[in-house]
Structure 1
C-alpha cells in the first residue's frame, strides 16, 4: 500500500511541475558562479547535438534572479543554436520533493533520448545539495544557517 501512495505522490508532484513550467529567453539567464560543478565544453556540444537532431530540451531550473541552478549546459546549447525560448522552472516554487521529481525527470530525459546520464552529473550534484538544504531548513529553521557554507 505504501508503494502505491509513493507512486501516486510522485505522479501528483510531476503534474504540478508541468503546471509551473514557463518559457524564458535563454539569453536573459545568468550563469550561476556559485555552483561548483560546471558542464564541460564536450557536454555542451553533446546537448547542442541533441537539440539539433531532436529539437527538444527538458526545462532548466532558475532562481528568482534568473540565475541558472540546473541546466547550464542546456542553456548554453540553446544559445548556440539560436533558440529564442526554452522552458524553465523557478527554484523558489519547489519543495524538496519537487526537486527529487525534477532530478528523476532529468534522468528520464537522458533515457528517452539515449544520452549518457553523465551529462547531468553537475546538475544532479547541485540538486542533491539543494534537497539537503531544504530538508535541513524544514527540520530546524533556526539552526539551518549554521551548517551552511558559501
Structure 2
C-alpha cells in the first residue's frame, strides 16, 4: 500500500506544479481567472485531504527491542510466545507492544529468566492472550520442622 501511496503522492505533487504553471502562464483574462477559482478551491481541498490521509498510510517507525536475558534459551522461548500469539489468537506483536510485554514479563518474573520462561509456558498452557503467573507451591504444613532423621532441630 505504501508503494501505491507514494506513487499517488508523486502524481499529486507533479500535477500541482503543472496546474500552478498553467495558471501563471495561461494568459487567462480576469473573467477566466475568476471562473477557475472554483477549480483551484476544489484542487486545494483535494490536496488538503491527501495530506491529512498521509498520516494513516505512512507507517510509524518501529522501536528496537532488547531481550531482558540475552540467552538462546530465552530468545527461543520469546519467539515461541510471539508465534503462539499469532497462531492461537491471530495477534501479531508490533514493536511497541513487544517492548512493553518484555518489560512487564521481566517485572512479573522478578528479573529471573527461569521464572519468565515458566510464565510463558504456563500462559501458553492455559491458552492465554497475556501472561499468567503459575501458582506458587505451598509449603507442606504436615511436614515436621524439627525432624531428628535429617539432623536438624
TM-score range, shorter chain: under 0.3
Structure 1 length as normaliser, TM-score? 0.25
Of structures 1 and 2, the one scoring higher in RCO (CA 8 A, sep 6+) is 1
